[in-house]
Amino acid sequence: MKNKNQIVNTHNEWDPLEEIVVGVVEGATIPPWEPVTPAVVHHEHLLDFYRQNGGQPWPQEMLDAAKKDIDEFVHILEAEGVTVRRPSIYDTDKSFSTPDFEIHSSVGALMPRDVLLIIGDQIIEAPMGWRSRFHENHAYKKLCKEYFDKGARWVSAPRPQLSEESYKQNFVPPEEDEPMRTILTEYEPLFDAADVIKCGKDVFVAQSSCCNRTGIYWLQRHLGDTYTVHEVEVFDTHPMHIDATFYPLAPGKLLINPERIKNVPDIFKKSGWDILVCPEPNMPDSHPMYTCSKWLNMNVVMLDEERVIVSKGEDNLIKAFKDWGFKPIECNFYNFESIAGGLHCATVDIRRRGELKSYF
């Protein structure tokens, strides 16, 4: 299918990148406590941090350090010829309520990857399971309107209610030796856009504490017969998103997290893909990580089939990328990772030069 001159056009993670949205640090607030918090935060000691500090601004020195990282990332993208767009800053410290819940604050616009799912020429606003992120799509409205005016399709998945019925009451995350379970019920479709990863006509999704099976069904029915949505089996005690777990990097090259993927879907094996096992992260244990795990090392951004932007310090992965035939470009990102996510989380690709195909 030809997609000549489409303003929004992405089918995979590796076609040559032309335009991308990069999140902003300004206005970022410590996520307020909500039902999903204990289901996604890996470290028990952080739960008290969220109970006590959720809804406050992050300390200025942490914001400054994160901003320095994101500025460097933007500089690298622009130097490589990519157009970078930014979301609008909105009032994150306003509390709000719906008929079903009240929440103290929003969290900012750090991670466009979670909010907008771009498939082909279509922008899908994700039905996110976080009460604090209910209005995060506002940060992208101006951009979405512009892309819509220039020809993109733009829809919002059903707006979730996020009442008590969406969450299992008294949920306890599983231990390492237990089967995976997540906090979400099947009351309504829920997913973050980062629970989904594209590979042409095949789209891969994993259940998580932000993505339920009803959300996966919704996506398959919405996308129709042109696409096949595959559910990937993962194991994570605090699952959130697929992009530090399972990542088709380039045709024939799948990067997997060895702790979370025990069975690679047959479709990859049958088609002879190389299964690249992500090496252990290098981030020191002393580095503070408030929202994500150290497996953000694999949360990279592909500029094309070879060039990959990777977090500086992740020497094991950088060496592996070279051995696998990629060209890594290093970017300082640990300080952004402390309060938010990785390079992939901090972005959403708007346009890559390529067409819809099957890679299997």
Active site residues: 192, 241, 345
122-125 and 116-119 beta bridge pairing: antiparallel
Q: Does 295 bind ligand ABU (CB under 6 A)?
A: yes
Q: Compute the 3-state secondary structure of the chain and give helix, strand, coil in percent, each to the nearest 5.
A: 30, 20, 50
Tokens 């599983």 identify what position? 174
Q: List, in order, residues 6 or more apart from 197 with CB less than 8 Å away.
A: 13, 203, 204, 205, 242, 243, 246, 247, 248
102-103 and 96-97 beta bridge pairing: antiparallel
Q: Does 243 bind ligand ABU (CB under 6 A)?
A: yes
- Least Cβ distance, residue 131 to ligand ABU (angstroms): 19
d(CA 22, CA 85): 6
Is residue 151 helix, strand or coil?
Answer: coil
- Least Cβ distance, residue 58 to ligand ABU (angstroms): 18
Using CB under 6 A as the binding rule, the residues of this chain from 321 to 340 that contact ligand ABU are none
Q: Does 293 bind ligand ABU (CB under 6 A)?
A: yes
Q: Does 77 bind ligand ABU (CB under 6 A)?
A: no
| β partners of residue 84 | 20
Using CB under 6 A, pick the residue from 345, 346, 348, 356 that binds ligand ABU.
345
Interface segment toward ligand ABU; rule CB under 6 A; list 10-18, 175-183, 269-277, 291-299: 291-299
Is residue 276 helix, strand or coil?
Answer: strand
- Least Cβ distance, residue 340 to ligand ABU (angstroms): 9
Q: Does 254 bind ligand ABU (CB under 6 A)?
A: no
Binding residues with ligand ABU: total (CB under 6 A): 11
Q: Does 194 bind ligand ABU (CB under 6 A)?
A: yes
Binding site residues, ligand ABU, CB under 6 A? 194, 240-241, 243-244, 292-293, 295-296, 341, 345
